[in-house]
Amino acid sequence: MPVAFEKRLPATVADIEDLGEGKDLFVRDIDGQRAQFVMPNDTERLTWVVYDDEAYIGIVNVWRGGGQPVWQVQSTGESFRILDDAVRALRRPSSWVEDRAKAVRWAEDMLADNSLVVISIETTDFEDTLAIQIAAATASGTVLLDECIRFESVDEPASAGLNGEGSARAATESTLAEILPRLSKVLQGHTLVAYSSDSGSQDLARGLTRHFGSPDAAAGWLGQAWWEDAMQPYAAWRGLWSHKDQAYQNIPLHDSETAVAGCHSLLAKLREMTMRPLSEFPESVCPSNLQESVSYCSGSGQSNASRMQLAGEPSKHQIGEAD
């Protein structure tokens, strides 16, 4: 009988080794789909053939490259710290090659856009926003803005619940009225790239609505710039397929608690997306359409009009229309 390996999370290599003899055959529920891991009898390596129920999906093994042991997908050579992510890579749909190529092209377009500004917004932990820490940077990483904005209409100190160093920055907080002219100069006419832009723009819109006294006025001010969300393209580029959601799993941006660090982390992700061409993956990833899609990755950046449309809708839209 296979061992039910459900409780140990996040399922690192060490967790599997703790199973002892049970590691030869075990099952695990990953995103609502039962995966079965079978170690071949003719090998002493930590290698498993993986099945979704009874359907073969690939092979994973343990790789010890001098650092922390990781899970490696045999067909692509990709390494993951968590077993579940390796299985998500094996579950990629046949459209992943094309989806990844579109994501690469989108990132190339963003980095080639002379009007690009990356933006990061850190908010309070409260349901009603008291303050936001907002930073903006150019494609080269030059910081254009780094402010902690206080909203005048709240009585509680604005930085009380701010993630990270909010309380330490209380003395340097600005009101929205004080920072608005500079913020307008940074944003106006630019292509803004954020990570999970819906959340960021909504938090900023709430503060602007409080400032202007009207959602329409706030939306009009936000409409000075174009807003692009990097979360979905990066998720498609990574290709960790969630069976439960029937979508690529979103990847957290960064562990830092400052908005400036968020900008730099976002820029690093954009560059990462353009630096590893799809041709590095062997044909076993998706042999039916690999060659056609490789050409997308190696091509030059496209115009704004041709930016990726993973969801079938134009990806470039005014911030005020993000909802």
Nearest CA to 115 among 186, 198, 195, 180?
186
Please report the pLDDT score of residue 232 as a whole number: 95
Please report the pLDDT score of residue 208 as a whole number: 87
- Same-domain status, 12 and 25: yes
- Same-domain status, 151 and 122: yes
Tens digits of residue pLDDT in 188-236: 889 999 998 656 667 778 888 888 899 999 888 888 888 899 999 999 9
Please report the pLDDT score of residue 166 as a whole number: 43
Q: Grade residue 295 by pLDDT with cuts at 50, 70 and 90.
A: very low
- Same-domain status, 58 and 126: no
- Same-domain status, 86 and 145: no
Please report the pLDDT score of residue 306 as a whole number: 29
- Same-domain status, 116 and 255: yes
- Same-domain status, 248 and 261: yes
Residue 303 has pLDDT above 60, yes or no: no
Q: Reduce the secondary structure of the chain to three states and give it as a string.
A: CCEECCCCCCCCHHHHHCCHHHHHEEEEEECCEEEEEECCCCCCCCEEEEEECCEEEEEEEEECCCCCCEEEECCCCCEECCHHHHHHHHCCCCCHHHHHHHHHHHHHHHHHCCCEEEEEEEEECCCCCCEEEEEEECCCCCEEEEEEEECCCCCCCCCCCECCCCHHHHHHCEEHHHHHHHHHHHHCCCEEEECCHHHHHHHHHHHHHHHHCCHHHHHHHHCCCEEEECHHHHHHHHCCEECCCCEECCCCCCCCCCHHHHHHHHHHHHHHHHHCCHHHCCHHHCCCCHHHHHHHHHCCCCCHHHCCCCCCCCCCEEHHHCC
- Same-domain status, 72 and 154: no
Q: Grade residue 171 by pLDDT with cuts at 50, 70 and 90.
A: very low
- Same-domain status, 134 and 281: yes
- Same-domain status, 293 and 273: yes
The model's pTM: 0.75
Quote the number of domains for the chain.
Answer: 2
From 69, 90, 111, the end of a domain falls on 90
- Same-domain status, 146 and 128: yes
Nearest CA to 199 among 153, 134, 246?
134
From 61, 90, 119, the end of a domain falls on 90
Q: Grade residue 132 by pLDDT with cuts at 50, 70 and 90.
A: confident
Please report the pLDDT score of residue 7 as a whole number: 46
Top pLDDT among 227 and 20 is at 227
Work out the mean pLDDT of the chain and round it to a whole number: 76
Please report the pLDDT score of residue 270 as a whole number: 97
From 34, 57, 90, the end of a domain falls on 90
Structural domain boundaries enclosing 278: 93-323
The tokens describing 297, both together, are 């990755």
Question: What CATH number is given to the structural domain containing 266?
Answer: 3.30.420.10
- Same-domain status, 111 and 235: yes
Share of residues in the chain with pLDDT > 90 (%): 41
Q: Grade residue 308 by pLDDT with cuts at 50, 70 and 90.
A: very low
- Same-domain status, 44 and 126: no
